[in-house]
């Protein structure tokens, strides 16, 4: 287990091939504190146990990716990789943004509400991440994140692996405004240099009860370089 506070002092590239980020708030991952209305709040745990990744730890993570490491993330932690990122090579810094964005905050303002339900996702065929999978499955979703992708630049690439159907999205449970998720990306693969990113908009292993989506996670862990 790699804790957020371990990133800055760890040789990530030397110890790991794949790093997984579960469904955790971005601010908690980065700072160890919860952010609300612009303010940060400490939790009830001792400060030694709630250290965040921090700037130095994020630099180590980006160096890990740049060296060919794979990053897998689901739920809220996917926002850790949204927006401006940096790879530091000696005295040179490369700034870049991965070709995706999380639409769920905007969709929620428009009425999307999924408290935790089974929804349908359509998967592409003939891709290593969907090996052994049917064309559609039910996944556990809280309605976040919901992805959109953009045309990749320079040494980047991207592929939508799974998306919500246009209609009949809800399979079990309750949801409001679920049609706003229609035709949106639920799972994406991206590449930056030699590093690969697999982002899930749902919990592929939710409480060990969503066996239909386990294989997507296993395929991501075992994923080799994709051209």
**Cβ atoms of residues 170 and 226 within 8 Å:** no
- Report the pLDDT averaged over residues 117-126: 96
Omega within 30 of 0 (cis) for the link into 145 = yes
Could you tell me which residue, 225 or 17, shows the higher pLDDT? 17
Please tell me the predicted confidence (pLDDT) of residue 227. Answer: 67
Q: Measuring CA to CA, how many Å separate 40 from each of 3, 33, 34, 142?
A: 20, 6, 6, 24
90: left (phi over 0), alpha (psi -120 to 50) or beta: left
For the stretch 206-224, pLDDT in tens is 887 788 899 999 999 999 9
Determine the average pLDDT of the residues in 48-56: 88
207 or 155, which is more confident:
155
pLDDT for 48 beyond 80: no
Confidence bin at 185 (pLDDT 50/70/90)? very high
With a cut of 80, say whether residue 46 has pLDDT above it. no
pLDDT at 194 over 70: yes
């Amino acid at each position: 287990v790699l804790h957020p506070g371990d990133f800055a002092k760890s040789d990530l590239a030397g110890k790991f091939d794949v790093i997984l980020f579960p469904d955790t708030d971005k601010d908690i991952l980065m700072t160890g504190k919860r952010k609300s209305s612009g303010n940060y709040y400490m939790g009830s745990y001792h400060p030694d146990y709630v250290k965040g990744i921090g700037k130095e730890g994020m630099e180590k993570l980006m160096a890990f990716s740049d060296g060919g490491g794979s990053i897998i993330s689901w739920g809220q932690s996917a926002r850790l990789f949204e927006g401006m990122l940096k790879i530091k090579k000696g005295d040179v810094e490369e700034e870049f943004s991965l070709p995706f964005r999380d639409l769920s905050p905007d969709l929620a303002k428009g009425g999307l509400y999924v408290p935790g339900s089974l929804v349908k996702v359509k998967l592409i065929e003939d891709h290593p991440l969907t090996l052994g999978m049917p064309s559609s499955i039910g996944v556990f979703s809280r309605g976040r994140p919901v992805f959109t992708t953009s045309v990749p630049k320079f040494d980047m690439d991207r592929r939508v692996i799974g998306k919500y159907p246009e209609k009949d999205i809800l399979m079990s449970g309750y949801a409001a405004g679920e049609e706003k998720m229609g035709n949106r990306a639920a799972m994406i693969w991206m590449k930056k240099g030699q590093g690969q990113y697999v982002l899930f908009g749902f919990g592929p292993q939710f409480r060990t009860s969503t066996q239909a989506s386990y294989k997507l996670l296993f395929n991501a862990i075992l994923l080799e370089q994709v051209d």
